[in-house]
Homo-oligomer: A and B are copies of this chain.
Amino acid sequence: MAKGQTSKHKRRVRFDPNNVDIVVDQGENLLKAAIDAEVHITASCGGAGVCGTCKVLIKEGEVESTRTDKLSAEEYEQGFRQACQSNVLTDLVVHIPVESRLETAVLAGEREEIATSVQQSEVLAAGWKFNPPLSKFFVKLPPPTLKDNASDLSRLLRCLKQQHGLDNLSVDFGVVKKLANVLRDGNWEVTVTTLLTGVETRLTGKRGLVVTNIEPGDTREKHYSLAIDIGTTGVRAQLLDLNRGKALARGVDYNGQISYGEDVISRIAHSQKRGGLHRLQKAVVDTINGIIRGLLTDAGVEVGHVGYMTVTGNTTMLQLLLGLDPKYIRLAPYTPVANFLPLVKASKLGIEVGEHVYLYALPSVASYVGADIVAGVVGAGVHQRKKLTLYVDIGTNGEIVVGNSDWMVTASCSAGPAFEGGGIKHGILATAGAIEGFDINLSNFEPTLSIIGETKPKGICGSGLINIVAGLLEAGVIGQDGKFYTNLSTKRVRKGGDGYEYVLAWAPDTQIGKDIVITEVDIDNLIRAKGAMYAGYKTLVKSVGLELTDLEQVIIAGAFGKHLDIEEAITIGLFPDIPRDKYTYIGNGSLLGARLACFSTDIVDDARRVARMMTNFELSENSDFMNNYIAALFLPCTDINAFPSVKEKLARLLKSKSGRGVTI
């Protein structure tokens, strides 16, 4: 131990298996060192020491660490420590166990599939014109003479009017700054980029065109933009060709803010620490920059030809991106700084694109009804149809819209991180090794698991959790109250540290070397999550005098995407028991809307209109919601008659439950 030394001594920390080195001051927090080294360690609680997800193995060297009850005596003896509770004392070699590691492989695999599912979907906005807010114009100017030595700017504006009918243009200072040289470098032939402004405000009728860029020669062919969806967990982006209206490349990565906490509330809490807001902004900007670099490389596009970007995300994500203090989003009465955000220069936020690139954030509705759902609703064309639609974006924060082309009400419910594997004993994100599918033999209660990436399991993701709970319910392993029947003849149901649990996989069959279980506490967490969502729909639908059975269409969007089994989700009561043909998945609706907003001013106008027409219901202090929520804390629901098909299935299974193996 080198406790007596000054904390300014430098120590080298190697992270294994990433093989990344970083030199830090002695005394540095180990989780922070990992963040600085860009090594992702899951830290669900944001470094508060209470979740135990940031467990690491100190292979060489010494740390100073507080032991909490998240580490067993055995683990501690082996050298496991919580990264967030450890300070660097000497040079270190740190091993990050598989369950503490984030992997992008599976998320990356989503790319094409979601994109495809979106393109094939029939629930898309229709009838919009291809008229991007960003345009390029080629201009030939007569060179100045002594008889006509107007300023360079006057000459340019005159020609833009004569040749393209453009009038009343504003001109960015950056354009004025390089104007003289660009005109002459291009031998008086230049390409001018204009952006339609005014479409970002709440107001109507205040349009303008601003000249954002000028390039020598004819560069009209090189005309690109970026669409970015900033999820609390994952950031997804597309590089778009504004001449052809298509995506040239797609990219995805974990939101670098994950290391500061898994949900928006823990992020907001972190933003209130000294320097926290800046750290969170930088984290997501770093993520975005990494994705952009990949997109440009993939498509062979130079960064200078990217002229614009649209961004969606929940209200907190957008405020953090723009460096706007999200403090009051968390405090009643939950006010965001702004739902309609001004255009900002992306480079000012640290995004590595040209100085001419404006960032347009789609409008939000309220603190917990973000631009992501506005974008999704618009992308899915909900506002274009008379059909009574339920649009649900499922994630840590569940966002709900009910309505059609005439009206929309919206609400959000804090489902908690269960749907993304958070707060679950062996919960992990939907990455390689996650159990996503589950069958159970009704006679001996032995499971059959489907694992993402077809490896040994290392944990359970959100959709797996739904399937497991549905399966256990249907097999009579748990009751409608989510409690285990303890009289079953199977070793898989047993009493553990958190009460009764079911063993999904025995230690030797896992990546983590210990039994993977689902506990009553986990089930209870899921019941509360699905109960919140269900109560949300029900309260919203009721509040406009309708019933869930009146719904003509249900559109599901969100992180789940293709992994979600609607049937099982209905079984546990996450979705209402209505005909299955009313359901459609659209994958990432938010990114879909962001892309369309690059392609069409119509879509931007629609988003603006939709954001204004949405009436937000605050559910958190609504007594109907609370009643509905409590009634929903059952599988599928206290009132089983609200789920006739589930009622029938459970009754049928119960009857048949005498030896026959049933695969559900």
Contacts and interface: CB of A to CB of B under 8 A. Distances in A.
Contacts of A208: 206
B153 A337 contact: yes
B181 A325 contact: yes
Interface in A143-175: 144-146, 148-155, 157, 167-168, 170-173
A243 interface: no
Given A146-B621, A325-B180, A171 B342 contact: yes
Contact of A341 (B176, B201, B366): B176
A337 B180 contact: yes
Interface stretch (A61-69, A326-334, A521-529, A578-586): A326-334
Contacts of A366: 149, 151
A177 interface: yes
A336 interface: yes
Contact of A146 (B157, B177, B333): B333
A339 interface: yes
A344 interface: yes
A206 B197 CA distance: 13
Contacts of A181: 325
A340 interface: yes
A618 interface: yes
Nearest to A145: B333
Contacts of A335: 144, 149-152, 155, 180
Interface string A200-216: 01110110100000000
A167 B205 CA distance: 12
A179 interface: yes
Contacts of A324: 176-177, 180
Contacts of A325: 180-181
Contacts of A145: 333
A364 to B, nearest CB: 8
Contacts of A336: 151-152
A151 B367 CA distance: 8
Nearest to A197: B170
Contacts of A328: 152, 180, 184
Interface in A281-334: 322-325, 327-328, 332-334
A327 B171 contact: no
A324 B145 CA distance: 21
B367 A149 contact: yes
B149 A337 contact: no
Contacts of A621: 146
B151 A339 contact: yes
Given A149-B618, A325-B181, A328-B152, A337 B176 contact: yes
Given A201-B170, A333-B144, A333-B145, A179 B618 contact: no
A151 B338 contact: yes
Contacts of A180: 324-325, 327-328, 335, 337
A338 B168 contact: no
Nearest to A168: B206
Contacts of A338: 151-154, 176, 179
Contacts of A202: 154, 157
A173 B327 contact: no
Contacts of A144: 333, 335
Contact of A342 (B154, B157, B170, B201): B170
Contacts of A367: 149
Given A170-B201, A323-B177, A325-B181, A146 B339 contact: no
Interface in A428-478: none
Contacts of A205: 168
A203 to B, nearest CB: 6
Contacts of A337: 151-153, 176, 179-180
Interface string A402-427: 00000000000000000000000000
Contacts of A168: 203, 205-206
Nearest to A343: B173
Contacts of A344: 173
Given A146-B332, A201-B170, A339 B176 contact: no
A339 to B, nearest CB: 5
Contacts of A167: 203
Contacts of A364: 151
A151 B208 CA distance: 25
A297 to B, nearest CB: 31
Contacts of A148: 333
Contacts of A146: 332-334, 618, 621
A500 to B, nearest CB: 40
B332 A173 contact: no
Given A146-B333, A151-B336, A154-B202, 16 more contacts: A145-B333, A151-B335, A151-B338, A151-B366, A152-B328, A152-B335, A152-B337, A168-B203, A170-B206, A173-B322, A176-B341, A176-B342, A177-B323, A179-B337, A181-B325, A184-B328
26 contacts: A146-B333, A146-B618, A148-B333, A149-B333, A149-B366, A149-B367, A150-B335, A151-B336, A151-B364, A151-B366, A152-B335, A152-B336, A152-B337, A153-B337, A153-B340, A168-B205, A170-B206, A171-B342, A172-B342, A173-B322, A176-B338, A177-B324, A179-B338, A180-B328, A180-B335, A180-B337
Top 5 nearest A-B pairs (CB, nearest first) are A153-B338, A149-B333, A146-B333, A151-B336, A151-B339
